[in-house]
Structure 1
Amino acid sequence: MIRTPLRPLARILRAREAGENPDDIEAENRARRHAEIQDRTRKRASFRLWLMTFAFTAAFGAVGMRMGALASSDPSEPRAQTTGARIISQRADIVDRRGRVLATNLSTHALYAHPHQMVDPRRAATELAEIFPDLDEKQLTRDFTGKRTFVWIKKKLSPEQMQAVHDIGEPGLLFGPREMRLYPNGQLASHILGGSTFGAEGVSSAEVLGMAGVEKAFDNWLRDPANAGAPLTLSIDLTAQAAMEEVLSNGMRVMNAKGAAGVLMEVATGEVLAMASLPDFDPNDRPRPALKGDPSDSPLFNRAVQGQYELGSTFKLFPVAQAIDEKLINPNTMINANSPMKIGKYLIHDFHNYGGSLSVADILAKSSNVGTVRIAQMLGPERQQKFLKDLGFFEATQIEMTEAPTGKPLVPQRWPAVTAATVAFGHGLAASPLHLAAAYATIANDGHRVRPTLVHRRDHPQGERVLSEPAARTARGLLRGVVTRGTARAAEVEGYDVAGKTGTADKPRPGGGYYDSKVISNFASMFPVDNPKYVLVVTLDEPSVTNAGGATARTAGQTAAPVAAEMVRRLAPIVGLRPHADADLPVIENRTPADLKVATN
């Protein structure tokens, strides 16, 4: 800024020449400058006053509008705002195919403490230990009397426990609202549901995360707000599941088995209506996983999905069905069944030496190892491998559970002649009961591949063809013969025309070889045979029962088959099947009389 001089030289000189007083010029200039300064100051002050007036008017206007909005709205409790990521505590329900709740949420409270607000921390620790026996009184005392300012005590409380803590009267004990996962049916379908746990936690909310089963497999979907709370609908039928678990539990007890598994699958869709593994657990109080020993000893182990078992003579159906499809045999083809049979340095035996030849129908009905190997040799190892691969025995099932990949079958790396022989009658390749159920469902589905699923939906794409329809139909007739006159007579259920195959396999030792008196017994079946709607697989781990003659029996015909028969009696009416008198499909039997003595596998 250029300032005007108070005593301009030119005017001063002219004033002196004119005899005027130069000081008057300075006074005049000084007065003009002061007037300009005052004018600028007045304008600045006026602008500030207007600005303050506008600010106060806007502020009081906003307050007034907010007060008006609050006065016209419904009253509600204020909510505290916190920084950081939002905790997503909402989780969708899980229901069965009929809409019955399998998993839901329950409002509860967590218990925490602010030790610096406590009046008598030692008494509080003592009384909390009385309410919650799992808490350590000494540790609580150290936490409450130390330097900690915050202590988690319990992540979830029952109403009774909450009232008991209220009665302590300690101001430093505080409650935070939250939602917990509730499984109203307890242990029912525990392996399918899996269980849940808390993730990110705050004093007023907690994130619920899936730990196993469908809870973990669908974790993102169940927590997605975009689903607007829509439930996840499983293929499980709660009534059928309860009946299966009850029958399987009783059968496991009667047969003195170490464990058991069962699968009921809808043939046309692959939907699993019931799937059980025993022993089981309560997902409301999920046990800790075992860190030592055999994983199958833990109740968390899902035998139906994770179990890798040699499934014994249930596998004999596959080379027979494939050879029929290849037109190498028919049900009445006679096969050399002399036992033992030598392959390289190995001998293959039948439990009974049937002598001479057996028809294909009798090979399956009597469960002849030698006859089955002869049929497998007609196919050759390459075709045998391809067929088993097409049935799904070389990969894990795609069922919607996190445990599914751990149940991938144990397939031999090499496939020489002796391996092809042993796999033909169910040894050397280990798979889960769910794999077996899917393979039998493929044959029941006229040869179209069936993939198991736990999701209930309307549209199910038809699987690729694995076996021709005539061959699949013939194979089903042969299985019916196993029940009517073969090793699975104990599986017959009047009015439902059950078709199936028994399988008894010695359990392998961890260090190699097989146990002498420990077996896995299986029965894989479909019903009704004329138009199969359902496939049922029952597996018993180390069964042992005393038969009528006083001898110890372990074979599937005497253990798994009768348990499966009781399941059919209970489950068929539940799924809407009515018993009928006659089936349209004739039972395929040998044209010549044959020894119908029951085999042991």
Structure 2
Amino acid sequence: MTMVSEPASFLQVRRAQPRAVRGSVSSSAVKARVYMAMLAFACVYVAIAGRLVMLAQMEEAPSRAWISAQDSISASRPDLIDRNGEILATDIKTASLYAEPRRILDVDEAVEGLTRVLPELDQNVVRRRLDSRAGFVWLKRELTPQQAEEVHNLGLPGIGFLSENQRFYPGGPTAGHIVGSVNIDNQGLTGIEKYIDGEWLADLQSLGFASDRTMEPVRLSMDLRVQHVVRDELVKAMERFQAIAAAGIVLDAKTGEVVAMSSLPDYDPNDRSQALEKDRLNRATGGVFEMGSVFKTFTAAMALDSGAVSINDSFDATRPIRAAGRTISDFHGKHRILSVPEIFIYSSNIGTAKMMLATGIDRQKEFLTRLHLTERLTTELPENAAPLLPPKWNELAAMTISFGHGISVTPMQTAVAAAALVNGGKLLPPT
């Protein structure tokens, strides 16, 4: 039995050992699987976290672009008012449409909806902007309240509105050339709007001191009531004489204040595209003309101021003057000797030219220079034209200039020079 039991014990031990080995291998495999599962979950969490970081970074760029756009359009402008406090220009709030292309879920749906509500938008342009990876793009500026409501009702993700200041001119074209106009970013383009930008407003806006805050209004010398009357009279005159243009100025001779200034055809500053039409330029300060017999006033003043001619002198106006192959005659001549007052009263070209010859060419040039009729006149308006002078200021040119031909100046220059003759001799810059 001893011999039988020993092999049995031996066999039992040998059978037990393989079972122990199999159990050890199974435990290692389980641990490996657990570690693999943990690693997989960790990778998933890392991927999710990375995706969240990427989304956060994607949101950051549009946010910065949105803030930049909001800053660029939120700058306020001061009201422009006339001398009596009537509003000429003011800011109103309006909505502008923008998109954040990265948030657009369905470009086709967005393009179809937007162009249906806003048919003036170009489908190709809108699609190109929405397909881009930009953080912020403009779609349309200055929407009407109805347009904004219809776009809002589309419920398109990634499409939003920014509130911005839009310039509004209650008087329309009445004082268009004076107040001027602004571009779509509310920056002055012409008139007083551009002047105040260049003087101080642009600096305040660049420093962030003009954002969404009320500023003191800018009071102009203009009287809206007088302005309306002047413009109305010019409209009637153009119709009566079938003129292509007209200009009128009311100037306070004692202060230089421009009480009214109108130039037709004018434009409505609320429609800024009209300001670009060449026929609508401000002829009062931006156009030059041969002023004709108005210049006889300056010639008479020059002759009397020089001392070469006295109020009691007379000049022979019986026959035309021949000079350099040209003939100078009177339109309604008296064909007799005229006194200095009569030369002025009857608007005699012959008598005026002879007064100039008695005074001298150099004296004429010096006197017109003192009246600022030979150089560009500086005003607060940016539209100021330079005069056209004769290429050769010889005797013939001097004679024609004496009665307003051969030299072209702006109507504003003429008004300023004329004011100096009636206010005691003070040449005041217009304001």
Amino acid at match of 1:221: W
> Which of the two has greater strand per residue?
1
What is the SS of the residue equivalent to 2:89? strand
Q: Does 1:344 align with 2:330?
A: no
- Distance in structure 1 (CA, Å) of the matches to 2:350 and 2:117: 66
Amino acid at match of 1:213: G
**8 A Cα contact 1:373 1:421, kept in partner:** yes
Question: What corresponds to 1:541 in structure 2?
Answer: none
Distance 1:149 1:196, change over 3 A: same
Amino acid at match of 1:222: L
What is the SS of the residue equivalent to 1:315? helix
- Distance in structure 2 (CA, Å) of the matches to 1:235 and 1:273: 6
- Distance in structure 2 (CA, Å) of the matches to 1:316 and 1:278: 26
- Distance in structure 2 (CA, Å) of the matches to 1:150 and 1:80: 6
Q: Does 1:240 align with 2:226?
A: yes
Q: Does 1:298 align with 2:298?
A: no
Question: What corresponds to 1:140 in structure 2?
Answer: 126
Residues 248-280 of structure 1, C-alpha deviations (whole Å, 9 max, x = no match): 112112211101111110111000011111111
- Distance in structure 2 (CA, Å) of the matches to 1:100 and 1:169: 42
**Structure 2 counterparts to residues 173-212 of structure 1, below 5 A:** 173-199=159-185, 208-212=186-190
Distance 1:435 1:148, change over 3 A: same
Residues 4-25 of structure 1, C-alpha deviations (whole Å, 9 max, x = no match): xxxxxxxxxxxxxxxxxxxxxx
**8 A Cα contact 1:195 1:215, kept in partner:** yes
Distance 1:173 1:418, change over 3 A: same
Q: CA deviation at 1:98?
A: 1.3
**8 A Cα contact 1:95 1:232, kept in partner:** yes
Q: 1:364 aligns with which of 344, 347, 352?
A: 344
What is the SS of the residue equivalent to 2:345? helix
C-alpha root-mean-square deviation of aligned residues, in Å?
2.7
**Structure 2 counterparts to residues 374-523 of structure 1, below 5 A:** 374-404=354-384, 407-453=385-431
Question: What corresponds to 1:50 in structure 2?
Answer: none
- Distance in structure 1 (CA, Å) of the matches to 2:132 and 2:71: 31
Q: CA deviation at 1:345?
A: 2.6
**8 A Cα contact 2:256 2:428, kept in partner:** yes
What is the SS of the residue equivalent to 2:95? strand
Residues 73-130 of structure 1, C-alpha deviations (whole Å, 9 max, x = no match): xxxxxx9996899657122221111122111111222101234434554344344334
Amino acid at match of 1:266: D
- Distance in structure 1 (CA, Å) of the matches to 2:428 and 2:406: 24
What is the SS of the residue equivalent to 1:189? helix
Residues 437-462 of structure 1, C-alpha deviations (whole Å, 9 max, x = no match): 10111112022212211xxxxxxxxx
Q: Does 1:164 align with 2:144?
A: no
Residues 48-77 of structure 1, C-alpha deviations (whole Å, 9 max, x = no match): xxxxxxxxxxxxxxxxxxxxxxxxxxxxxx
- Distance in structure 1 (CA, Å) of the matches to 2:68 and 2:283: 46
- Distance in structure 2 (CA, Å) of the matches to 1:305 and 1:173: 46
Unaligned runs of 5+ in 1: 1-78, 200-207, 454-601
Q: CA deviation at 1:436?
A: 0.7
**8 A Cα contact 2:65 2:136, kept in partner:** no
Amino acid at match of 1:113: A
Amino acid at match of 1:132: L
- Distance in structure 2 (CA, Å) of the matches to 1:246 and 1:133: 38
What is the SS of the residue equivalent to 1:197? coil
Q: TM-score, normalising length from structure 2?
A: 0.76
**8 A Cα contact 2:66 2:136, kept in partner:** no
Amino acid at match of 1:307: G
Question: What corresponds to 2:296 in structure 1?
Answer: 316
How many aligned positions are there?
A: 359
Distance 1:84 1:434, change over 3 A: closer
Amino acid at match of 1:235: S
Amino acid at match of 2:315: I
Residues 149-185 of structure 1, C-alpha deviations (whole Å, 9 max, x = no match): 5431112222222112112222232101222222222
**8 A Cα contact 2:311 2:341, kept in partner:** yes
Q: 1:222 aligns with which of 201, 204, 222?
A: 201
**8 A Cα contact 2:89 2:167, kept in partner:** yes
Amino acid at match of 2:390: P
Residues 220-244 of structure 1, C-alpha deviations (whole Å, 9 max, x = no match): 4235349971111111111111221
Identity, in percent, stands at: 37
